[in-house]
Amino acid sequence: SQTIHQWPATLVQPVGSPLSLECTVEGTSNPNLYWYRQAAGRGLQLLFYSVGIGQISSEVPQNLSASRPQDRQFILSSKKLLLSDSGFYLCAWSVPPGWQPQHFGDGTRLSIL
Amino acid sequence: AQKVTQAQTEISVVEKEDVTLDCVYETRDTTYYLFWYKQPPSGELVFLIRRNSFDEQNEISGRYSWNFQKSTSSFNFTITASQVVDSAVYFCALRTSGNTPLVFGKGTRLSVIA
């Protein structure tokens, strides 16, 4: 069966520090991968998605970046965090066809001080 | 462009009441897929149901039921005899092809009071 791992579960970082969140999927090949952010009490904002190694689509221009160094690994990064980067970050995967749902990791709660 | 509207931001009901969460979608594609997710206080998103555009059959699963109406572009979710454990944020979502992300509504926060 397929599983998705996302870590860390919680993270407290100072403003201006770098960030690296990692997500890995097991049990499937060539998944589509997604990063979402959810501000407190708000909806889901799609940040990046990838349909293959090295292929990244950015939905929101900001100080975050994403990379997909391996088929089932998706990394969210920042060189310098802002206060506005606080939130709940969710990784997800899916495979075609379109009726297949997206499956989400447990999320990372990021607090910027 | 695709869009999902969940007009109800927050709903509060007393336990055992029935509650319907509304979802209205917009798309020009004739083939599309609709989804509902539940986000409990712990934060993870749990997939509940999907529906294809060519299948308007409604579905019932225990206390949950879904009403898909293409004529009104709606995919509403009803919880019968609500329970405290149903308290969560519920998201409706839309996709039109296999390699595109889901388009989510803003979610409806349901609070069930004992």
Q: What is the pLDDT along chain A (113 residues), one digit of tens a residue?
A: 889 999 999 999 999 999 999 999 999 999 999 999 998 878 899 999 999 998 999 888 689 999 999 999 999 999 999 999 999 999 999 998 888 899 999 999 999 99
Res B7: pLDDT: 96
Q: From the list A101, A103, A104, which residue is nearest B50 (CB)?
A: A101
Rg of the Cα atoms in chain B: 14
Mean per-residue pLDDT, B52-79? 93
Query: Of A108, A19, A22, nearest to A72 (Cα)?
Result: A22
Q: How far apart are CA A106 and CA B87, in angstroms?
A: 18
Chain A residues in contact with B102 by the CB 8 A cut-off are 102
Q: Is A3 on the interface with B (CB under 8 A)?
A: no
Report chain B's mean pLDDT, rounded to a whole number. Answer: 94
Of B33, B106, B109, Cβ closest to residue A99: B33
Considering only CB atoms, which chain B residues are within 8 Å of A103? 47
Query: Residue A38 is encoded by which pair of tokens?
Result: 């959810």
Contact assignment for B91 to A97 by CB distance below 8 Å: no
Dist. CA A105–CA A89, nearest whole Å: 9
The verdict on a CB contact (< 8 Å) between A97 and B98 is: yes
How far, in Å, are B47, B80, B89, B102 from residue B76 at the CA level?
Answer: 15, 13, 15, 17
Instruction: Kindly state whether B3 is in contact with chain A, defined as any CB-CB distance less than 8 angstroms.
Output: no
- Decide if A106 touches B, using CB distance below 8 A: yes
Q: How many beta-carbon pairs below 8 A join chains A and B?
A: 53
Sign of CA dihedral A46, A107, B93, A94: positive
pLDDT at B102: 94
- Sort out which chain A residues have CB atoms less than 8 A from B99's CB and list them: 32, 51, 96
Q: What is the pLDDT of residue B58?
A: 85
pLDDT score, position A99 = 85
pLDDT at residue A59, as a whole number: 86
Chain B residues within 8 A of A60 when measuring between CB atoms: none
Residue A107 has its nearest CB partner, among B33, B44, B91, at: B44
Distances in whole angstroms, Cα of residue A104 to Cα of each of A62, B10, B114: 23, 23, 30
